[in-house]
């Protein structure tokens, strides 16, 4: 039995190395000077760490702008998808209305639609409506991608909030809206925050649609992708690290909710 434990332990360490080592290496590469990146063989130990490569990357054309666009689009996507998705999630959790099942199936079906099928025609539609190359256009696309998940996750969250307390508040004279705001929202808030982070990461990571729908107002990944072929390796490594860091933070914060969000609700 102890021998088996040992094998389990070793297997876990092996997988952790496979998953973790590349993260260490990209950090190392992005924090090495261009000079030390030109040496061969590269050192696997952090012997000459400095911020030169990272700061050159941040000073390149379009990077700070891309960062700002990414943040703007990410936050607007979170707001818009909650604005449209929360009421719908609440309706699914609280009302047994006709057409609820087809509506939910419809939400799940949208998942089978590849982003590319929406992005290219949306490019034409946005050109006609003046939304092309704006942060609004990309926000609309990202909200459409995030909305089904937001609705399904928030409905699962609202199902977990007791109906009785909400009704008790209304018996004591609270309006339905006040009952919602003062009883339901505080209890649902941690879950809603996790769902908001999920949406933000989706928007932060999405590159194809953002590339197709913009020209000058690129998001950070779209900017990195567009300049990929002509940029030196140091720039690409720095870009890689800049794209990975939010993922590390997100997973650290949202770890508790991962199983519910990706595991159960996505059934």
Partner 1 sequence: MPARVRRRGRPSAALLLILPSIVFMAALFVWPLVSGIAQAFSGPDGPTTAYVRRMADDPYFWDATRNTALLIVVLIPLQFALAVVMALLMRERPRLAGLHFYIWVVPLAISDLAAGLVWLSIFTDRGYLNSVLDQLGLGTYSWLSFEHPGTMFLAVVIAELWRATSLVFVIVVAGLQGVPRDYDEAAEVFGATYWQRVRHVILPQLRPSLQVALILRTILALEAFAVAQALTGRNFPLLVGETYQWYYTLQNPNVATAIALVVLTLSIVAAVGYLRLMRRHPEAR
Using CB under 8 A as the binding rule, the residues of this chain from 169 to 208 that contact partner 1 are 201, 204-208
Q: Cα 95 to the chain's mean position, in Å?
A: 29
Which of 2, 40, 45, 172 is the binder for partner 1 (CB under 8 A)? 40
Which of 49, 58, 64, 116 is the binder for partner 1 (CB under 8 A)? 116
Q: Six-digit token pair at 86?
A: 């929360």
Q: How far is the CB of 265 from partner 1 (least distance, A)?
A: 9
Residue with tokens 């933070």: 249
Q: How far is the CB of 173 from partner 1 (least distance, A)?
A: 17
Closer residue to partner 1 (CB): 51 or 121: 121
* Residue 244, number of CB atoms within 10 A of its CB: 14
Q: How far is the CB of 147 from partner 1 (least distance, A)?
A: 6
Closer residue to partner 1 (CB): 107 or 192: 107
Alpha-carbon span 217 to 136, nearest angstrom: 10
**How many residues contact partner 1, by CB under 8 A?**
95
Q: How far is the CB of 156 from partner 1 (least distance, A)?
A: 12
Alpha-carbon span 16 to 6, nearest angstrom: 15
Alpha-carbon span 76 to 138, nearest angstrom: 10
Is 110 a binder of partner 1 (CB under 8 A)?
yes
Is 125 a binder of partner 1 (CB under 8 A)?
yes
Closer residue to partner 1 (CB): 3 or 5: 5
Q: Which stretch binds partner 1 (CB under 8 A): 50-58, 64-72, 96-104, 181-189?
A: 96-104
Is 236 a binder of partner 1 (CB under 8 A)?
yes
């Amino acid at each position: 039995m102890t021998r088996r434990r040992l094998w389990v332990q070793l297997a876990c360490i092996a997988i952790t190395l496979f998953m973790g080592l590349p993260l260490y290496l990209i950090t190392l590469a992005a924090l090495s000077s261009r000079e030390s990146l030109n040496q061969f063989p590269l050192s696997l130990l952090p012997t000459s760490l400095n911020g030169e490569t990272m700061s050159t990357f941040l000073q390149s054309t379009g990077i700070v702008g891309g960062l700002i666009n990414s943040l703007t689009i990410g936050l607007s996507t979170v707001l818009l998808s909650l604005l449209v998705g929360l009421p719908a999630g609440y309706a699914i959790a609280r009302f047994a209305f006709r057409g609820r099942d087809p509506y939910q199936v419809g939400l799940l079906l949208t998942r089978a639609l590849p982003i590319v099928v929406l992005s290219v025609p949306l490019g034409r539609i946005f050109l006609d409506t003046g939304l092309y190359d704006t942060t609004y256009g990309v926000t609309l696309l990202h909200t459409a991608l995030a909305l089904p998940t937001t609705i399904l996750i928030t409905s699962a969250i609202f199902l977990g909030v007791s109906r009785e307390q909400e009704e008790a508040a209304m018996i004591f004279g609270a309006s339905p809206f006040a009952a919602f705001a003062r009883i339901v929202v505080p209890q649902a808030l941690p879950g809603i925050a996790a769902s908001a982070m999920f949406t933000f990461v989706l928007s932060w990571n999405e590159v194809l649609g953002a590339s197709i729908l913009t020209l000058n107002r690129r998001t950070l990944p779209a900017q990195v992708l567009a300049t990929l072929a002509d940029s030196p390796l140091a720039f690409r490594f720095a870009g890689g690290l800049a794209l990975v860091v939010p993922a590390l933070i997100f997973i650290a914060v949202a770890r508790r909710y991962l199983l519910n969000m990706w595991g159960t609700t996505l059934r």
